[in-house]
Amino acid sequence: MAKASSKFYCKECGYESAKWMGQCPSCRAWNSFVEEPVLSASKVAGFGGKKASGSGRPPRQRPVKIDEVKLEQEDRMPTGFRELDRVLGGGIVVGSLVLLGGDPGIGKSTILLEVSRNLAAESNKKVLYISGEESLKQIRMRANRITEITGDISFMAETNIENIIETIEEEKPDFVVVDSIQTMYTETVTAAPGSVSQVRESASQLLRVAKENGIAIFLVGHVTKDGTVAGPKVLEHMVDVVLYFEGDNGGTLRILHGQKNRFGSTNEIAVFEMTGDGLREVLNPSELLLNGRPLHASGSVVTCGMEGTRPLLIEIQGLLVPSAFNLPRRTANGIDYNRLNMLIAIIEKRLNLNIGKYDAYVNITGGLRIAEPSMDLGIVLSLVSSYMDIEIPDDVMVFGEVGLSGEIRAVSNAEQRVEEASRLGFDRIMMPAFHAGRIDARNLKDVQILSVRTLKEAMAVLRK
């Protein structure tokens, strides 16, 4: 009897091996190999070629000059969400394959249903929403919560890729949602849905349909414990855009950001709020992030971080309390832990404050993570304010990098940060002296600029 042929695949990167290994030689992940039936090459449909049928290899392509490549007039579709359009680089590109990852319950199905509705109702697009996770009834219930669904939009509860592709080729929609790629299976592979080879094969067949027919396809992808899309890394290589949907624990704020984008920048984020009737985009996140800020409390300071091209005003909260242990606790929420340690050392040495024996907690409200040196000054001031129990006035916004000698250094995008603060009504802005002289103050009549060179100078804001 012929031996059933199977191989071992790395769950992380898709590396193939004839035998099991403890560590993947390609991506160095431990214990990541799973045994799965081998793909037979004749059955695998690759991108660019036709479905491998009896006729053998696909027709040969002719090389062309770059200016012979025709660009379609309308090759981007607006999603109806300005924020999402910006993350995508200006709308959904026709013929693109987009992967949307995120924790369960974060709102992936909800946002894609809303995008489907917008495309059908506002842009007259033909939309096909395929769910492998929910029954048509469940989708209907969700749709009822959002708003009325109008336009050319159809739903299908299906997990078989061959059926899906037949339907897509017959119906020729403009936009397809596949929710989720881990529930889909193709007959060319005998492994179970969600396995490395199934996910890879299913995605590559959808990729072919997207490119050949100029259809934009969104795939929903589950994420693993450590927050990456489950299934092989090759999935991320295959698609044009990888988006992640994240939220603060228990809160209603949702942040969508690009991890990879062949059509735009990956620096942009979009902020949404989950409400009782669907997701709303938040056009003015600074206002939302500062909402509910404690006034007249020590340890709280407002600073401005950049997410892509957008300035975001955020509140940093610091807390210092005498430690009960020899080794004090340090907790950094939303900022880099090592950076916090460095800043505490700088405070000790340059401001002569003996805070090494204190437990230190720093928190960025709103569940954001910002790794930017411009936050340094805010972090230091929040800690010192907590230590001395002196509040930082509510009308002050601060930003700047802090160097090891306690000097305040220049950062990028100073002008935009100042504008954002002045827009939201801050009266005084503390910034590195470098920028103070260069800021165009013509549009900022009511704003007072506090220029600082060193941490010692910055302490002035704490004195009344």
Among 109, 374, 385, 386, binds Mg ion (CB under 5 A): 109
The least distance separating ligand TYD from the CB of residue 367, rounded to whole angstroms, comes to 16
Residue number with CB closer to ligand TYD (39 or 113): 113
Name the binder of 107 from ligand TYD, Mg ion, none, CB < 5-8 A by kind: ligand TYD
Note the Cα 411 to chain centre separation in Å.
24
* Contact predicate 84/283, CB 8 Å: no
Residue 277 near ligand TYD by CB under 6 A:
yes
**Cα torsion angle, 32, 35, 36, 40, sign:** positive
* Contact predicate 123/78, CB 8 Å: yes
Residue 109 near ligand TYD by CB under 6 A:
yes
Residue 183 near Mg ion by CB under 5 A:
no
- What's the N-to-C CA distance of the chain in angstroms? 89
Name the binder of 102 from ligand TYD, Mg ion, none, CB < 5-8 A by kind: ligand TYD
Residue number with CB closer to Mg ion (132 or 232): 132
Residue 282 near ligand TYD by CB under 6 A:
no
Name the binder of 90 from Mg ion, ligand TYD, none, CB < 5-8 A by kind: none
Residue identified by tokens 């009897």 is 1
Distance, in Å, from the CA atom of 114 to the CA atom of 193, rounded to the nearest integer, reads 27
Q: What residues contact residue 411 under an 8 Å CB cut-off, 6+ apart?
A: 372, 373, 374, 399, 400, 401, 432, 435
Strand partners, 359: 321
Q: Residues 239-262, buried b or exposed e (16+ Cβ, 10 A)?
A: bbbbbbbbbeeeeebbbbbbeebe
| Binding region for ligand TYD (CB under 6 A) out of 33-41, 142-150, 158-166, 280-288 | 142-150
Look up residue 422 and give its two tokens.
């002045």
Look up residue 80 and give its two tokens.
């109806």
* Strand (E) or helix (H) holding 175: strand 175-179
Residue 107 near ligand TYD by CB under 6 A:
yes
Residue 278 near ligand TYD by CB under 6 A:
yes
Residue 110 near ligand TYD by CB under 6 A:
yes
Residue 159 near Mg ion by CB under 5 A:
no
Strand partners, 129: 155, 177
Residue number with CB closer to ligand TYD (110 or 197): 110
Among 91, 102, 400, 406, binds ligand TYD (CB under 6 A): 102
DSSP state letter for 58: P
Residue number with CB closer to Mg ion (110 or 300): 110
Residue number with CB closer to ligand TYD (135 or 405): 135
Q: Taking CB positions, which residue lies at the least distance from Mg ion?
A: 109
Residues in touch with Mg ion (CB under 5 A): 109
- Under the rule (CB under 6 A), what is the footprint of ligand TYD? 102, 104-110, 142, 145-146, 274, 276-278
